[in-house]
Structure formats: structure tokens, C-alpha cells
Amino acid sequence: MILHPSTLAAIALAAAIGGLLTGRAVVDVLRRLKAGQAIRDEGPQSHKAKGGTPTMGGIILITPALVLPPLLTGGTPAAWLFSAILLGFALVGGLDDWLIIKYRNNKGLPGRLKLLAQLLLGAAWGYALIAMGENHPLLVPYTELTIPLGLWRIPVCAFVFASATNAVNLTDGLDGLASGTGIICLLPLMMLVASLPMTALSTAAMIAAASVIGGLIAFLWFNWHPAQVFMGDLGSLALGAAITPLASSAGAELWLVIVGGVFVVETLSVISQVISFQTTGKRIWRMSPLHHHFELGGWPETKVVGRFYLAACLCALVTVLGIKSGVRYQPTEGPRPAVTESRPTTR
């Protein structure tokens, strides 16, 4: 298929319409199953009223991305690989959500076990890239430099997948925050990938990203404050697993630090809080992740979300400036099969 911008927009629109039409039924089913979210005792007091809100709503955003890439590409191995990695992270997150619901606490899957699963899935993705001849060197942002990885692709993917999915998970703490930020992050990342030579994998990744954007739009309809449903770990881990392979399909993992700046800052706020408390006994923030710091400072939830959206837009603009400055791919390891019929027409 030809990946015109209008084609990607049509995919996103179809996913959004499908999600909007089925979203209410998903929310009702989750409510009947009593799939309510447990709220942390140490969380902001304003969140107590959210207890019992259905979780695992990430089904709304992830379903189009599981179905459309294999369907629209004729079932290429690259498309099935992308769907498989999304499904893998969704299952890990879904199991975590199910344990929280079953035992009515916020513990879920043990942290070490969850991290191990994330690392293994990321490593499997890296191995698959090598096996498929898609082991592209890392692009250094704002330069034409590349870093060949060879077999280092496997541990790099393991680290990046675990980091990115956990970062999105940490950001999913306010109504609409992770979903809206995810949309803003995916758009410039798609522009970046489209500026590079397209392959079967990046084609599937672009289709999946467009599908996720449509699913996020539909999900945001039900997740906007006051939320009728939460995405849960099922959705947040899957969202991170949609963003990361899109970048990885073109060797653009380093760009995730820039385009996903909001996710990075949220993660750093947690890390700095833990280090500070363990070493000095004092907290840097009123509460981490950072969005709770502003909440406890008196900001309404919608104001925090809006400001974080603006920060995400700034990260997106900085990313687009980098594309304009001349990102180029210089293949230095392994074949890069061309997919000429899928080359964007708006280079």
C-alpha cells in the first residue's frame, strides 16, 4: 500500500471511529465485571473519588494496532512482529491490572517479574530485528552520525523498551495525561520515520502508529476528566510498546529522549525523589511523579494536564526542527530492503 499522509490519516480516522463506536460497550463491560481501579492510600486525597473507576480501558486504544498492520500489509512478517510485541506488553500489563482487581490493592504483578518480562520482550524485539535484516545503526539527533550496534542491538532494545514502557506507565496518573501526551509524541516521531528510507518494518510501524493515534483519540473521549475509564497497565505498557518500535524501526531510539521529553522528566522525578530520600531523608518533590507535585501545589488536575500537553508540544517542535536540520540514514550494517511502493510522497 502507498503510505500517503492521507492514507495514514484515514487509518487513524477509522481507528478513532471504531473506538468511539465500541468504547461505550467496553466501559460498560468493564464496569459489569467490576474491573475497578484501586487507588493508592499515599496518593493525593483528591484521587480517592476515582476509586472503582473501570480500568483496562487500554483495550480501546490497542485493538486497532493489533489488527490493522497485518490486515493492511497483507500479513507481512514485519506487521505480525509489530502486533506480537504490542500484544506481549499488553498481556504483561493486563496481568498486572487483573491481579490488582482480584486482590483489591495496588500491588499487582511483582515489580521484578514485570521488569524481567519487559526486558525479555525488548530483547526478543532486538533479536528479531537482527534476524530480519532490520538492525539499523542508531541515529544521533541533529547530526548525520550513526552508531552501528551489531549484537548490541539486543541489550539496547531490552533497555529502551523497559525504560520507555515504564516511563509511559508512570505518566499515566491523571485523566487524559498519558493518552494526550502519547498522541503528541507519536506525530513528530512518525514524521521522523517518514523522512528516512522506508522498509517493511517501518511501514508496519507507521500503520500501527496511525492506528494507535486513532485509538488514543477514541480513548481520550472516555478518559477525559472526570474519567469514565482508565487505560491501566494494559494500555500504558502497550502505548510505550507502540512508541518504542516505531523509533526502533528506523534506528531512532535516541530521539525518544527528545520527542518523549515529558515521559523522561516524569521518570527522572521519580528517580530523583527516591535517591534524595534514601540518601538525605528529604524529598525534592511534594510527591512523585512530577504531575502529583503540581497537584499538591494546588493546581487543578485539568491545569496540570494542559500544561504537560504544552510541554509535550514543545518537545514535538524541537524534534521537527531536528528533522529539518538534516537527519540522514547511512546504512552501515545489514541489508535494508526497500519497500518502494510504501515510500511517502511528501519527502
Residue 143 neighbours by CB under 8 Å, 6+ apart: none
| Residue 46 pLDDT greater than 50, yes or no | yes
Reported confidence tier of residue 340, pLDDT bands at 50, 70, 90 = very low
The DSSP code sequence of 251-263 is T-GGGHHHHTHHH
Average pLDDT, the chain: 89
Whole-model pTM?
0.89
Residue in this structure with the C-alpha cell 482508565, named with its chain if needed: 230
Query: What are the tens digits of pLDDT across the range 109-121?
Result: 999 999 999 999 9
Query: What are the tens digits of pLDDT across the range 315-334?
Result: 999 999 988 655 554 444 44
Residue 211: the pLDDT is 96
CA quadruple 2, 7, 245, 256: dihedral sign: positive
Reported confidence tier of residue 335, pLDDT bands at 50, 70, 90 = very low
Q: At what angle do helices 58-73 and 232-248 cross, to 10 degrees?
A: 40
Residue 302 neighbours by CB under 8 Å, 6+ apart: 225
Residue 131 neighbours by CB under 8 Å, 6+ apart: none
Calpha distance 201→79 (Å, rounded): 7
Residue with the larger pLDDT of the pair 342 and 294: 294
- Structure-derived torsion over alpha carbons of residues 241, 227, 49, 41, reported in degrees to the nearest 10: 10
Query: What are the tens digits of pLDDT across the range 163-198?
Result: 999 999 999 999 999 999 999 999 999 999 988 888
Reported confidence tier of residue 255, pLDDT bands at 50, 70, 90 = very high
Cell numbers linked to 129? 530485528
Calpha distance 322→20 (Å, rounded): 34
